[in-house]
Amino acid sequence: MCGIVAAVAERNIVPVLIEGLRKLEYRGYDSAGVALLNPTLTRLRSVGRVAELASLAEAQVAHHGIAHTRWATHGVPSERNAHPHVSEGLAVVHNGIIENYAELKAELTAAGYVFTSDTDTEVVAHLIQHTQKTNNDLFDAVFATTQRLIGAYAIAVIQEWDDRIVVARQGAPLLLGVGEEGRYAASDASALLQVTRQMIYLEEGDVAELKRGSVRIVDRNHVAVERALHESSLSADAVELGEYAHYMQKEIFEQPQALAATLEMIGGAQSFSPNLFGTDAPELLAGAKSVLILACGTSFHAGLVARYWIEQLAGIPCSVEIASEYRYRVSVPHPDTLVVAISQSGETADTLASVKHAKAQGMMRTLALCNVPESAIVRECALRFLTRAGPEIGVASTKAFTTQLAALFLLAATLAKQQGHLSASDEAEHLTALRHLPVAVQNVLALEDDIRAWAQRFSDKHHALFLGRGHHFPIALEGALKLKEISYIHAEAYAAGELKHGPLALVDEDMPVVSIAPNDALLEKLKSNLKEVAARGGELYVFADADSHVDEEPGVHVLRLPEHYGLLSPVLHVVPLQLLSYHVALVKGTDVDKPRNLAKSVTVE
């Protein structure tokens, strides 16, 4: 979703802004723009890729500017709607949604301001300008403006003849960079690694003023505050493509090391310890009588797998809710519930709001399971577990998902132990299986050549069905999501037992049916479901285990994963589905890392 980069420095900051936008491209966008001060304002905007903006800005030199990639919310993707938006000599970039923009727009129109875009952001530019008429200083005017905004925003503002950048955040990410030659701001650290590793994370409601050599921050009450300086541990290489053609491919193949890094803390452990989840975890987890998992997208699917694990291992009830539904529905709160928010980015607006909603209902045992330290969801929760997948750039989530699963299994086993449900032999067995997981995933990646051949047969299809049972049903959901996200083939997933209650009507020779068939207790049931498909002329693509008794026959294609992996089998079985969608997308020639209409980090509702 929208990306912001801002810089004020001794050096020419135009290349810094453009490189920063390149690093934020993964968030998803449809247009881009910059505003530069010299000391008067130059604004350049373009629809499409940052590369186009880069050629427009090539000849520019400036020491002070703001830049933006826009993911359309209010108004179609077009140059007139692209940020920055201006009001006289003032320019603003914004990430988020201003919910009361219509009311503010009416007020500003009545005051004589003329709007040249359909965006909510232009309201912010005019409102700051208007506020300055009574509140002369830019910083004060931005602060006063934020008091009138309802919704989510991260903004950066510059004005002609003023040597500052003023930024503010509420409900959308923004961090500051402290460099040798200047001060910077961006939506995430990857955009600023080119100039500094020293980062300051702004808190909700903060407004900050950046000059070449200083930063001043006030909190939501206009009290001057110091925010801690963090050294980013993100490696610049981690966001480089290296030898890979796409980030998604790189991230699929990074899964063994991402899992190894995430599971490093249990390397020499003899038991599952609640301390893995934070200092207060022994007490907060021990008192949990049920678990409520909140998440969106792929993270929601990780939660669905975890429900099977938590109920089976720990014997406590677990529900999993789509965050955007939970936050608005009337539900029955239980104070002894452990609320688990799963989010790769830690910034997903609905997931964050759902945690706040749970807390407002008295559920204070909150655990963030995130991939980004210091993200909003991590800061909102009492407990945290950080997956160590490294930056995930491809919109279609892969390594974040498998590392979430590893972390959720740790949680399930830890809860089981606390409930007295885990025998010593099971504990040792689970620890061994977790330690071997990176190698097991590595072995599955070796199936790529076979999957590439299958992908050819999917590329001319318009629909596909994915079937799974038990804790592989969420893996079917995830496989279907991956395929539709990046290849634009309509795909649906069903619990295989549901097939005859509707989707079987769709099955014919044009409907590939992908089936996850591990060698578990449900295999025989699943085989009956597969016969139902074969009998209707459906083409079956079965991911079985080495020892599953599923045979190749006309219309039934079988690929075997190297070994059956028991409860952790979903971590292995999702990998070939990731590879399948990746290779189908390659054949179809879609934009794998930046699929149309989608964003990586969904910071608006």
Determine the Cα angle at 15 with ends 7 and 60, to 5°: 95
Binders of ligand G6P in range 539-568 (CB under 6 A) = none
Residue number closest to ligand G6P, CB atom:
297
CB of 204 to ligand G6P, least distance (A): 18
CA 324/CA 377 separation, integer angstroms: 15
Residue 73 CA from chain centroid, whole number: 18
Cβ atoms within 10 A of the Cβ of 490, count? 13
Size of the chain in residues: 605
Active site residues: 2, 600
The residues near 264 (Cβ < 8 Å, ≥ 6 apart) are: 388
CB of 28 to ligand G6P, least distance (A): 7
Residue 395 CA from chain centroid, whole number: 8
Cβ atoms within 10 A of the Cβ of 211, count? 14
For ligand G6P, give the closer residue by CB, 207 or 372.
372
Which of 119, 31, 106 lies closest to 73 in space, CA to CA? 119
Stretch that binds ligand G6P, among 195-203, 237-245, 343-351, 572-580 (CB under 6 A): 343-351
For ligand G6P, give the closer residue by CB, 66 or 154.
154
Q: Does 487 bind ligand G6P (CB under 6 A)?
A: no
Among 46, 131, 146, 298, binds ligand G6P (CB under 6 A): 298
Which of 154, 153, 126, 152 lies closest to 141 in space, CA to CA? 126
DSSP strand E in 273-402: where? 290-295, 318-322, 337-343, 365-370, 383-386
Stretch that binds ligand G6P, among 39-47, 341-349, 457-465, 548-556 (CB under 6 A): 341-349
CB of 225 to ligand G6P, least distance (A): 28
For ligand G6P, give the closer residue by CB, 131 or 403.
403
CA 93/CA 278 separation, integer angstroms: 37
The residues near 554 (Cβ < 8 Å, ≥ 6 apart) are: none
CB of 69 to ligand G6P, least distance (A): 15
Binders of ligand G6P in range 91-120 (CB under 6 A) = none
Residue the block writes with tokens 């029955």: 332
CA 42/CA 91 separation, integer angstroms: 10
CB of 395 to ligand G6P, least distance (A): 5
Q: Which string of x and - marks every residue 580-599 that binds ligand G6P (by CB under 6 A)?
A: ------------------x-
For ligand G6P, give the closer residue by CB, 558 or 598.
598
| Residue 35: HSE in the Cβ half-sphere, 13 Å Cα cutoff | 26
CB of 92 to ligand G6P, least distance (A): 26
Which of 1, 299, 356 lies closest to 172 in space, CA to CA? 1
Number of residues that bind ligand G6P (CB under 6 A): 14
Show the tokens assigned to 132.
Answer: 């300055």
* Four-residue CA torsion sign, 115, 121, 123, 125: negative
CB of 321 to ligand G6P, least distance (A): 14
Alpha helices in 117-203 (DSSP H): 121-132, 138-146
Among 119, 145, 299, 366, binds ligand G6P (CB under 6 A): 299
Show the tokens assigned to 506.
Answer: 């769709």
Q: Which string of x and - marks every residue 366-405 that binds ligand G6P (by CB under 6 A)?
A: -----------------------------x-x--------
For ligand G6P, give the closer residue by CB, 24 or 504.
24
For ligand G6P, give the closer residue by CB, 22 or 600.
600
CB of 376 to ligand G6P, least distance (A): 11
CB of 23 to ligand G6P, least distance (A): 17
CA 274/CA 139 separation, integer angstroms: 45
| Residue 49: HSE in the Cβ half-sphere, 13 Å Cα cutoff | 6
* Four-residue CA torsion sign, 348, 354, 358, 360: positive
Which of 387, 443, 458, 407 lies closest to 576 in space, CA to CA? 443
Among 2, 602, 603, 604, binds ligand G6P (CB under 6 A): 602
DSSP state string for 269-299: -SS--GGGG-TTHHHHHHT-SEEEEEE-HHH
**Three-class SS of residue 542?**
strand
CA distances from 457 to 538, 556, 560 (A): 13, 13, 18
Binders of ligand G6P in range 396-455 (CB under 6 A) = 397
CA 235/CA 215 separation, integer angstroms: 25
For ligand G6P, give the closer residue by CB, 101 or 300.
300
For ligand G6P, give the closer residue by CB, 159 or 371.
371
CA 306/CA 294 separation, integer angstroms: 12
For ligand G6P, give the closer residue by CB, 356 or 435.
356
Q: Does 125 bind ligand G6P (CB under 6 A)?
A: no
For ligand G6P, give the closer residue by CB, 395 or 544.
395
For ligand G6P, give the closer residue by CB, 44 or 486.
486
Stretch that binds ligand G6P, among 34-42, 62-70, 268-276, 338-346 (CB under 6 A): 338-346
Max Cα–Cα distance, the chain, nearest Å: 79
Binders of ligand G6P in range 140-179 (CB under 6 A) = none
Among 117, 132, 351, 529, binds ligand G6P (CB under 6 A): 351
Binders of ligand G6P in range 237-296 (CB under 6 A) = 296
CB of 239 to ligand G6P, least distance (A): 16
Stretch that binds ligand G6P, among 62-70, 107-115, 147-155, 339-347 (CB under 6 A): 339-347
Among 232, 249, 255, 348, binds ligand G6P (CB under 6 A): 348
Residues forming the site for ligand G6P (CB under 6 A): 296-299, 343-345, 348, 351, 395, 397, 598, 600, 602
